[in-house]
Amino acid sequence: MRWLLAFVPLAGLTLAADPPAPPVKKIEPGKVVVPTDKMRRLWGELVSLDLMTRTGTFRNEATDEVMPFVVLPYAELLHHATFGDLPDFRVGERVIFRLHEDAAGKWVWLTYIQDEMNFLHGHKEYYWVDALDPAKGRITFTQANADRSFIRDKGLTLETDADTRYWKAGKPAAFADIKVGDKLRTKTHGVGKGKSRVCWEVFLDDESLLKFQAEQVAAHATRMAADGLPGYVDAAAGTEVKATLFLEARDAARGLKAGQKVTLAPAGADRKPTAPVAGILTAIKPVGGLHEITVTLAAPATGFAPAGVIRLRIIP
């Protein structure tokens, strides 16, 4: 009987099941979803851009392949180390493209473009000057953080030409102002192949980059005030519209208050507002970096379909 008793405790045991795996995020029409568990982030050179359809192509600098992309309405377009929009970007600019699969499994949906200034500023990294060749306008550098405790890469080169501009203390400077040991940040462009970096802008100090950033913040705020804050319609019934504002509207949305007079407009494929309707902002709630809003319109909400893009404009 003792051998039977040895197995009795096992009879009451059940193996604990593994917890279910979290669902894989997928892009959904009308929702602000970024599937970070399945994405590609590629450095490349902007080849073409269509502002009306918000589509374009870029050259993958690792393979030289020219790849298409479709900019999702809520994509973060990070220009000059802050928020921007497609018109801010120049053909040839070297940036990171974050891509996701579309419904057909093609890697074309884009949820951010991050320019070089934004990458360096966000990661607190610099291009540390190792050597200079004034005759060729070439800078050899190591990419590292502020105290060089983290080195991302070394033995890299920056090219300059007649169109390169240099900045120090927020004012125009020159190649001759650069010294070995300086830490630079840049805005570069490609040359149609490989990883070549030709500088449009060279910042010899943080002050100069931050000046460009401040100018971009002001320009984007002006655009938001003129076109309205972008977002998705969540629901529309009668004269009431519920919507979620995109991340790029975050700073402006923080100043919104219930009771403000607004206009709400559907937006086309280019995200430009059409047929604005007057109304009152009746509710606003922050949700992460986004903001959920409710607007009561002066007329029935006939032009606002769920998952459609809207622009919310504050009436001064």
Find out whether 284 and 242 touch, Cβ atoms under 8 Å: no
For residue 3, the 8-state DSSP code is H
Topology of the domain comprising 228-314:
Elongation Factor Tu (Ef-tu); domain 3 (2.40.30)
Band the pLDDT of 20: cuts 50, 70, 90.
confident
Find out whether 144 and 151 touch, Cβ atoms under 8 Å: yes
| Residues paired with 138 in a beta bridge | 133, 159
pTM beyond cutoff 0.75: yes
Mean pLDDT on 29-40: 93
Closest by alpha carbon to 312, among 290, 52, 88, 213?
290
For residue 104, the 8-state DSSP code is T
- Name the CATH superfamily for 125-208: Copper binding periplasmic protein CusF (2.40.50.320)
Band the pLDDT of 17: cuts 50, 70, 90.
low
Closest by alpha carbon to 128, among 196, 178, 168, 165?
178
Residue 200 has pLDDT above 70, yes or no: yes
CA distance 253 to 255: 5
Q: In the chain, which segments carry CATH 2.40.50.320?
A: 125-208
Question: How many alpha carbons fall within 13 Å on the CB side of residue 182?
Answer: 19
Phi, psi of 6, deg, nearest 5: -65, -25
Tokens of 87: 């018109």
How large a percentage of the chain has pLDDT more than 70? Answer: 94
Mean pLDDT on 205-220: 96
Band the pLDDT of 160: cuts 50, 70, 90.
very high
Mean pLDDT on 288-293: 94
Element (H, E) at 251: helix 250-253
CA distance 27 to 84: 22
More confident residue, 153 or 13: 153
* The pLDDT value given to residue 24: 72
Residue 127 has pLDDT above 70, yes or no: yes
Residue labelled with tokens 């830490």: 183
Residue 6 has pLDDT above 50, yes or no: no
Report which residue type is found at 161.
Answer: D
Q: Where are the beta strands (DSSP E) in 116-170?
A: 125-133, 138-145, 151-159, 165-168
Residue 4 has pLDDT above 50, yes or no: no
- What is the chain's mean pLDDT, rounded? 93
